[in-house]
């Protein structure tokens, strides 16, 4: 069996984390078989690299390998892409076309973002996995294929199954051998080693001296949570290599060029939002804080109204409150007639008045313009990443398919 170190050297894998080694060992063991593999892990951890390792160590290594992002293919064309179509099957089908399962016969197909696969495509894929059979779109002829499927996802498929958004039988068929690729925050001992490797690569690429970290700067990187994982660390290293005039990176340098590395607020795990379905992915991730603030204000309003109701308090008109002088003194109602100082009238307590005397100005305020907030968040993400939709979708924590739909909905193309 190929040694672990040889695999790391061959595929450029850096790190000695026990979690990483365990995932690689599983990939090495399952590679010679034809078992279906499900690779899970956060975005940017390198799931596609694991699929290439499995293919390269299998008996199919001399046949074709293809990686397909299910979230990037429109729902109306994914069946044609995967299984092909007959001439005239739909508008624009001017010729017969072979799908990936036909052209990669004998090889390996890597299906990334498998959770984004439409329900009808899931049914077709299940038949391929069970019987090696499929039909082109618009055809009734059953075709055979011998393809190994490796799937990957960054969401909780079991939760998707419970929500009825992913077929349970397909999930268990894909999950024959699960491989969990650890996130960068779970293998912090590898962060500095990866940084050194990237710094050396960029120094060679841009013909400059490699940057180095002081001990305190190294601690900053190791304490950061790295939501973008290895991909984000590589981007940070490249930016520091180019932007920093000094080759020794200090804490001050990081503060100047990468202030986000010092943000230590503890985020809610993304899985918490994924468990609530696609609506959470579409919206709540973008403005959950605003909704929480609005709920807090509504709770406070309810509490105040309850206090007023229980004590039969009178609330002055809004115009009266605006006329109150900021220097006016309030005199407690020791006498029957309250004392008025200057030109300001105090808030009066009249037990005889009930909460029903209050004008209906306490009704719930109008809802926030959520569509506008979402539209602006998408517009800014696209602008930040110069129109690159994959990077924008990753920052917004939504799938590319959802982003495409939102761009069309808000006319942001």
Q: Tell me, what's the pLDDT at 400?
A: 80
**Cβ-contact 77, 89 below 8 angstroms:** no
30 and 90 housed in the same domain = yes
The phi and psi torsions of 92 (rounded to 5 degrees) equal: 100, -10
Contact 38, 174 (CB under 8 A): yes
**pLDDT at 291 (0 to 100):** 56
Whether residue 11 is contained in a domain is answered as yes
Residue ending a domain, choose from 128, 152, 182:
182
Residue at 395 is within a domain? yes
Please say whether the beta carbons of 108 and 15 come within 8 A: no
Query: 68: helix, coil or strand?
Result: strand
- The verdict on 289 and 222 lying in the same domain is no
Q: How confident is the prediction for the chain on average, in pLDDT?
A: 82
Q: Give pLDDT, residue 286.
A: 52
pLDDT in tens, 124-150: 999 999 999 999 999 999 999 999 999
User: Which pLDDT tens digit goes with each residue over 35-53?
Assistant: 999 999 999 999 999 999 9
Residue 332 has pLDDT above 60, yes or no: no
In a domain, 331, yes or no: no
Q: Is position 285 within any domain? A: yes
Express each pLDDT in 214-236 by its tens digit: 999 999 999 999 999 999 999 99
Q: Are residues 88 and 166 in the same domain?
A: yes
Torsions phi, psi for 100 (to 5 deg) = -65, -35
Q: Which pLDDT score, from 0 to 100, does residue 293 have?
A: 65
257 CB-near residues (< 8 Å, 6+ apart):
239, 240, 243, 244
Query: Which of 182, 203, 222 represents a domain boundary (last residue)?
Result: 182
Residues 362 and 250 in one domain: no
Give yes or no: residues 207 and 235 share one domain.
Answer: yes
pLDDT at 161 over 90: yes
298-308 pLDDT, tens digit each: 667 666 666 76
Q: Are residues 93 and 201 in the same domain?
A: no
Instruction: Say if residue 275's pLDDT is above 60.
Output: no
- Segment 187-216, tens digit of pLDDT: 999 999 999 999 999 999 999 999 999 999
Whether residues 135 and 239 share a domain: the answer is no
pLDDT at residue 303, as a whole number? 67
Q: Return the pLDDT at 372.
A: 78
The boundaries of the domain holding residue 227 are 187-262
Model confidence band, residue 276 (pLDDT cutoffs 50, 70, 90): very low
Here the CATH number for the domain that contains residue 82 is 3.40.50.300
pLDDT at residue number 393: 82
Q: Does residue 200 share a domain with residue 151?
A: no
Q: What is the pLDDT at residue 92?
A: 80
Kindly state whether residue 34 falls inside one of the protein's structural domains. yes
Tokens of 13: 């894998």
pTM higher than the cut 0.75: no
Q: What is the pLDDT of residues 95-125, one digit of tens each?
A: 889 999 999 999 999 999 999 999 999 999 9
Domain check: are 195 and 169 in the same one? no
User: What's the structural domain count of the chain?
Assistant: 3
Return the closest-CA partner of residue 284 out of 167, 42, 294, 159: 294
Same domain, 13 and 114: yes
Q: Are residues 116 and 178 in the same domain?
A: yes
Residue 241 domain flag: yes
What gap in Å lies between CA 140 and CA 137, rounded to an integer?
Answer: 8
Is the CB of residue 130 less than 8 Å from the CB of residue 90? no
> Looking at 156, 182, 208, which one is the last position of a domain?
182
Q: What are phi and psi of 186, to 5 degrees?
A: -90, -5
Task: Give the number of other Cβ atoms within 10 Å of residue 152's Cβ.
Answer: 26
Match 């080693």 to its residue by tokens: 193
Among the listed ranges 16-25, 165-174, 241-250, 311-320, which one has the minimum average pLDDT value?
Answer: 311-320
Whether pLDDT at 367 is above 90: no
Q: Is the dihedral of CA 5, 10, 14, 18 positive or negative?
A: negative
Residue 251 and residue 216 in contact, taking contact as beta carbons nearer than 8 Å = yes
243 and 390 part of one domain: no
| Whether pLDDT at 379 is above 90 | no
Angle, to 10 degrees, between the axis of helix 4-11 and the axis of helix 47-56?
120
Whether 342 is covered by a domain: the verdict is no
């Amino acid at each position: 069996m190929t040694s672990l170190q040889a695999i790391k050297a061959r595929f450029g894998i850096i790190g000695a984390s026990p979690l990483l080694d365990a995932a690689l060992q599983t990939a090495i063991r399952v590679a010679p078989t034809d078992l279906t593999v499900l690779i899970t892990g956060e975005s940017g951890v390198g799931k596609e690299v694991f699929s290439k390792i499995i293919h390269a160590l299998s008996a199919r290594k001399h046949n074709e390998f293809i990686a397909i992002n299910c979230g990037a293919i429109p729902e109306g064309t994914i069946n044609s892409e995967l299984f092909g179509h007959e001439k005239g099957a739909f508008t624009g089908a001017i010729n017969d076309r072979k799908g990936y399962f036909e052209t990669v016969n004998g090889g390996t197909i890597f299906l990334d973002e498998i959770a984004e696969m439409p329900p009808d495509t899931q049914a077709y894929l299940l038949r391929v996995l069970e019987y090696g059979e499929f039909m082109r779109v618009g055809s009734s002829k059953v075709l055979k294929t011998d393809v190994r499927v490796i799937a990957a996802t960054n969401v909780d498929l079991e939760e998707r199954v419970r929500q009825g958004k992913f077929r349970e039988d397909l999930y268990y068929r894909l999950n024959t051998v699960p491989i969990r690729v650890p996130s960068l925050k779970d293998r912090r001992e590898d962060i500095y080693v990866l940084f050194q490797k990237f710094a050396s690569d960029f120094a060679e690429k841009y013909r400059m001296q490699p940057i180095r970290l002081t001990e305190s700067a190294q601690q900053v990187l190791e304490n950061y949570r790295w939501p973008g994982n290895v991909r984000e660390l590589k981007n940070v290293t490249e930016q520091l290599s180019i932007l920093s005039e000094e080759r020794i990176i200090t804490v001050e340098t990081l503060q100047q060029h990468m202030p986000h590395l010092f943000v230590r607020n503890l985020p809610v795990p993304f899985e918490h939002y994924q468990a609530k379905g696609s609506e959470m992915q579409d919206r709540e991730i973008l403005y959950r804080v605003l909704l929480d603030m609005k709920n807090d204000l509504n709770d406070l309003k309810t509490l105040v109204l309850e206090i007023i109701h229980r004590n039969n308090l009178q609330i002055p008109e809004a115009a009266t409150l605006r006329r109150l002088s900021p220097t006016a003194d309030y005199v407690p109602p020791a006498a029957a007639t309250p004392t008025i100082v200057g030109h300001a009238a105090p808030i009066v307590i009249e037990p005889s008045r009930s909460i029903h005397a209050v004008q209906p100005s306490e009704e719930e305020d109008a809802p926030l313009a959520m569509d506008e907030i979402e539209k602006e968040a998408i517009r800014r993400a696209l602008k930040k990443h110069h129109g690159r939709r994959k990077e924008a979708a990753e920052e917004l924590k939504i799938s590319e398919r959802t982003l495409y739909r939102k761009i069309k909905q808000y006319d942001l193309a």
